[in-house]
Amino acid sequence: MTQIVLAGLLFVGAHLGISSTGARARLVNLLGVRGYLGFYSLCAIVTLGYLIWVYGELPRYEYVWEPSPLHYEIARYLMPAAFILVLGGFLVKNPTLVGMEGMLRDAPSEKDLARGVTRITRHPVQWGIALWAFSHLIANGDTVSVVFFATFLVLSLAGVVLIDRKKSASLGENWHAYRDQTSNVPFVAIVAGRNRLPFAELWLPVLLGLGGYFAVLYFHEWIAGVRLI
């Protein structure tokens, strides 16, 4: 149990401890922007690999709660949405990503700021990961899995808040226009009438997301060692 907690803390610390503290500026000054990104990526990959290795090695015989068919059903309903957000997030330009901030200055009008799944949330990949982590946390219930998936859940939810804070400070009014048209929490901007869901922009993310979901469902035993269908 101690080992998985340590691995989770290292993974979260490698992200938030570097990118969201004064260490980032010092590393950029020392290594340059590209050097910093390389160092950051290396830390993220190493700590992720260690976390996954520990999770695969530890026995899972202690439970916080007993899994039930209802828990599995929750995961089945949430995972398609997770795939749609994650895969759809890679189909559109998004100023929340590193190196994409310039699109806020280059957009012909405010109507062009949000496209595809960024109309649902300006952080589609992070929210997709959060849904994946939450659904698997609920479905498993053993202490090792709870710590493992809670690590990703905490990092994703903390990440969307910290990204918004950093972008607001660095981009100013350009960011505020994008922020006002979109929402952090999925569908809030839609419900508030600040955005809409055009079919022409969303059919491909939905198609790819559902295709990815059913592919992973079919090969889940090979990927995770647990057969679902």
Domain ranges (residues) in the chain: 1-58, 64-224
Share of the chain above pLDDT 90, in %: 56
Residue 18 — pLDDT band, cuts 50, 70, 90? Answer: confident
β partners of residue 159: none
pLDDT, position 173 = 81
Please give the residue that has the higher pLDDT: either 38 or 120.
120
For position 77, what pLDDT does the model report?
93
For residue 184, what pLDDT is reported? Answer: 96
> Per-residue pLDDT averaged across 28-51, rounded?
86
pLDDT at 108 exceeding the cut of 60: no
Q: What is the pTM of this model?
A: 0.90
Confidence of residue 148 (pLDDT cuts 50, 70, 90): very high
pLDDT tens across 57-75, in order?
999 889 999 888 899 899 9
